[in-house]
Amino acid sequence: MFSKYAALVKNLRGVVLISPSEDVEDIVSWLVNRFKYRNLGVPPAVLCKSREYFEKRLGKPFVQAVYPIKPIQELTRLVADSLCVDIEAAEAAVIASSYVSPIIALGKEAEKMLRPLAVEEVMSKVRLDNSGWRLHLRIADYTVLDFYSWSVDHAQSIWKGFDADLFVKERLSKIKRDKKRYWRLERGSLEPWSFLYYVDLAEKLVEKEDWKEVVKIGEDSAAGLAIEAAVLINKENIPT
């Protein structure tokens, strides 16, 4: 399991989330053209329930994303149960954090699945062309990369004694500063649409007072508790 993880992590550019109830074939085809030379991870639950979208494309660019260690799998179950979200959404968030990659949510249903895990949102007033999408997907990648070390170290305070209110405040403060990266999306006149969610499982679990259950899983699960960026790609917002 870990050998597969090590082989993937360096070249992974996102972890895909879709709902099996929604037709996202157009979005998948568009995405394939954006990631010809980089990999997109498909978590086990998504691959199991939406195999028709990926079985012929595994390896170009879609690859199966595996759980690197058992605590990450246990954290996924806790997130799904505690925060009352679909296993696909919980798994995408935890695995994306473990791979230091953004979540790539395809379609309106995937957006709805992630909504309960979001703590902040980036809205866009502009319609992105392909170069604009390429730029902002890269910016989302930087968001995740730059947050990772700090947010995982910060999450580890759950095991060391912490103030819950201060914990949440510090993480939200970092996120609000990070939103400034997306200033280009404000320079338009369109009806605002959701471009990105900030997903923070650690913050959500602390707010629910379920952090003691995280402690039981073990400190290695902190790798799944980084602040995440989830890019929301819908049919209406991609170039035709």
pLDDT reported for residue 25? 86
What does the angle CA 13 – CA 196 – CA 116 come to, to the nearest 5 degrees? 105
Give CA–CA dist 201/155, Å, rounded: 10
Q: What is the mean pLDDT of each run of 10 residues along the chain (240 residues)?
A: 66 90 88 82 88 70 90 97 96 97 96 97 96 96 97 96 95 98 95 97 94 94 98 93
If we measure between CA atoms, which residue out of 223, 230, 213, 219 comes closest to residue 81?
A: 213
Instruction: Give SS3 for 24.
Output: coil
**pLDDT score recorded for residue 3:** 62
Q: CB within 8 A of 151, min separation 6: which ones?
A: 171, 174, 200, 202, 225, 226, 227
C-alpha distances (whole Å) from 135 to each of 71, 96, 130, 132, 189 are 34, 20, 9, 5, 20
pLDDT of residue 1: 58
Beta bridge partners of 198: 120, 229
Cβ proximity of 65 and 41 under 8 Å? yes
What is the pLDDT at residue 6? Answer: 64
pLDDT value of position 2: 64
Question: Who's near 6: CB < 8 A, 6+ residues apart?
Answer: none
Per-residue confidence (pLDDT) for residue 48, from 0 to 100: 87
Q: Do residues 146 and 228 lie in contact, with contact meaning Cβ atoms separated by under 8 Å?
A: no
Give the strand order in the sheet containing 228-233: 62-64, 39-42, 12-17, 103-106, 228-233, 193-199, 118-124
In this predicted structure, what is the pLDDT of residue 178? 98
